Chain A
Amino acid sequence: MLETKGEIKILVKNLKKSFGKLEVLKDINTEIRTGEVVVLLGPSGSGKSTFLRCLNRLEDITSGDVYIDGVNVADKRTDLNAVRQNVGMVFQHFNLFPHMNVLANITLAPVELKKMTKEEAERKGMELLKRVGLEEKAGAYPPQLSGGQKQRVAIARALAMNPDIMLFDEPTSALDPEMVGEVLAVMKELANDGMTMVVVTHEIGFAREVASRVIFMDGGYIVEEGTPDEVILNPKETRTIDFLNKVL
């Protein structure tokens, strides 16, 4: 598959991460360019979620460097809040704020961080809700929504900050099967609009259809990476083959 080589958005060098004595990421090196949709595959415990969470440093980095738009987030002096404003994140369990209605969930960050006035943020919020097909839920509270609706709101909330990178941490794993499609559809649209995305998922179909690159991880290493056709259809490494045999 041909890809237009954009500028480097994310550069990962010798990334290592340990929880106490347990080394979860052993030596990760990769780069992600503008507009790429990178899907991380791998068995549970392979470190893919931890890797994703290191990108916006929700997890402290043990050693190595992670550059987002040239800024090293592994550096203790880096203003993480500024970096995170440009990196949206969507979580497996949605993590919507249950005490605020849908629109307030979306407008909280842009208003508090003085990126927009309340009116601007609300206009933008309604636009985003329209985009994810939930305008009529603006006044609803998260516990009133279905899982799929919650996740679409969470995507809208992340987009409200106008990020140019989006991280997805198993966004469909906590959903009932019939709701997976609506969330993947929103993500697909986002990918088509040129968003740089890093997605941890078990949805092999999504990876084949939408990913520009697939990274297969196991035991804290990147075992294999390439286009979906290369990694999913013609895997070279035995660990990748074993994994795909189990999930396909």
Chain B
Amino acid sequence: MYNIALLSISDIKTISIIKTYWSMLLLSLGQTMLLTLLSLVFAFIIGLIFGIMNVTKIKPLNFIATVYVDGVRGVPLIVLAYFTYFGIPMFIRSIGFENFRFTALTAGTIALSMNAGAYMAEIFRAGIQSVDKGQMEAARSLGLGYGKSMQKVVLPQAIRTMIPSIINQFIISLKDTSILSVIGFPELTKAGNIIVAINFDVFSVWGIIALMYMIVIVTLSRLAKKIERRVNVGNER
């Protein structure tokens, strides 16, 4: 704010860009949020399943979970996105399903869910292991089955400790949606590409886009801190 004079020329440009493209920018931000939320929901489920598979005493399940987590974490998201969007449909077409293709939203959601799911599995594993072993034993000693004990006793306590990591993953995944601009998904970064191709004003456009990401993420992490604090108050009771 202190060098208003210096910024004033580009400010005018910036304002005119916002005036012209505000609906496109907001719409694409909406797409970014949609993709993030969808992926996070699936990632939560994937993480829950593989996280529990990892902490059971059943060796084959441990193995499957480890292969999944290590496998997906070993592939860059951009490669995963190309593979899902181009690779898999081509394979499906080659076995006889002509004209098969994923929409960018479907492919993007699959790629991002798988990616975030692998990290979420690790968050679940750590969360479950942070709950004292005696909790599971007490539940089992009452005659509750493994699943019920998990659901009613272990997971509610685990999820409390996991909340900061889950929020962190949410923020990472939100930023990772920008990678999915490469498969043409109309999210915020893709919108930036399009606008830049029209007016070549790289400074203003990418400045606006960066600011938009920042505002959303800072707001979310503030909100997250509040939730975390409230949950911790509940914990101390």
> Does B60 lie at the interface of the complex (its beta carbon under 8 Å from any beta carbon of A)?
no
Known A91-B137, A93-B134, A112-B148; judge A157-B237 contact (CB<8 A). no
**B-side contacts of A95, CB under 8 Å:** 132, 134-135, 137-138
Q: Let me know if B153 is at the binding interface, CB within 8 A.
A: yes
Q: Which residues of A contact B137 (CB under 8 A)?
A: 58, 91, 95
Partner of B157, one of A98, A109, A143: A98
Nearest chain B CB to A96 CB, angstrom units: 8
Is A144 located at the chain interface by the 8 A CB criterion?
Answer: yes
Known: A99-B156, A144-B237. A81 touches B145 (CB 8 A): yes
- A158: interface (CB < 8 Å): yes
Q: Is the CB of A84 within 8 A of B138?
A: no
- The number of chain A residues with a CB under 8 A from chain B is 28
- A140's nearest neighbour on chain B, judged by CB, is B237
CB neighbours (8 Å) of A113 from chain B are 142-144
Interface assignment of B13: CB less than 8 Å from any CB of chain A: no
Q: Is the CB of A81 within 8 A of B143?
A: yes
Within 8 A of A (CB), among B114-152: 132, 134-135, 137-145, 148, 152
Query: Is there an interface contact between B144 and A89, defined as CB atoms closer than 8 Å?
Result: no
Taking CB atoms, residues of chain B closer than 8 Å to A87 are 141
Verify if B98 is at the interface (C-beta below 8 Å from A). Answer: no
Interface of B is mostly: helix
Contact of A109 among B135, B143, B235 (CB under 8 A): B143
Give B148's nearest chain A residue, CB to CB: A112
Query: Are A158 and B156 in contact, with the CB atoms below 8 A?
Result: no
- Inside 8 A of B153's CB, which chain A residues have their CB? 97, 108
Q: How long is the Cα–Cα vector from A97 to B138 in the complex, in angstroms?
A: 9
Shortest CB distance A80–B (Å): 8
Q: Which of B135, B143, B235, B236 contacts A97 (CB 8 A)?
A: B135
Q: What is the CB-to-nearest-CB distance from B209 to chain A, in angstroms, rounded to a whole number? A: 42
Smallest CB gap from A142: residue in B: B237
Over the window 97-132 of chain A, the binary record of Cβ atoms lying under 8 Å from chain B Cβ atoms (1 yes, 0 no) is 111000000001100110000000000000000000
How far apart are the CA atoms of A155 and B145 in the complex, in Å?
Answer: 20
Q: Which residues of B contact A98 (CB under 8 A)?
A: 157, 235
Report chain B residues within 8 Å CB of A81.
140, 143-145
B142 and A85: CB pair below 8 A? Answer: yes
Q: Which of A201-215 contact B (CB under 8 A)?
A: none
Q: How far is the CA of A84 from the CA of B142 in the complex (A)?
A: 6
Residues of the B chain whose Cβ atoms lie less than 8 Å from the Cβ of A143: 236-237
Contact partners of A91 in chain B: CB under 8 A: 134, 137-138
With both beta carbons as reference points, the residue of chain A lying nearest to B142 in the complex is identified as: A109
**Residue in contact with A99 in the complex, picked from B134, B143, B157, CB distance below 8 Å:** B157
Q: Is the CB of B141 within 8 A of A89?
A: yes
Q: Which residue of B lies closest to A92 (CB)?
A: B134
Find chain B residues with CB under 8 A from A93 CB: 132, 134
Bound-complex Cα distance A233 to B231 (A): 54
Closest-CB distance, B20 to chain A (whole angstroms): 52
Q: B138-181 interface mask toward A, CB cutoff 8 Å, 1 = contact, 0 = none?
A: 11111111001000110011001000000000000000000000
Complex alpha-carbon distance, A85 and B135, angstroms = 17
24 contacts between A and B (CB under 8 A): A81-B140, A84-B140, A84-B141, A87-B141, A88-B141, A89-B138, A93-B134, A95-B137, A96-B138, A97-B135, A98-B157, A98-B235, A99-B156, A99-B157, A99-B234, A108-B139, A108-B142, A112-B144, A112-B148, A113-B144, A143-B236, A143-B237, A154-B138, A161-B142
Interface positions of B (Cβ within 8 A of A) = 132, 134-135, 137-145, 148, 152-153, 156-157, 160, 234-237
Q: Which A residues contact B (CB, under 8 angstroms)?
A: 56, 58, 81-85, 87-89, 91, 93, 95-99, 108-109, 112-113, 141, 143-144, 154, 157-158, 161
Q: Which 3 A-B pairs have the closest CB atoms?
A: A85-B143, A95-B138, A109-B142
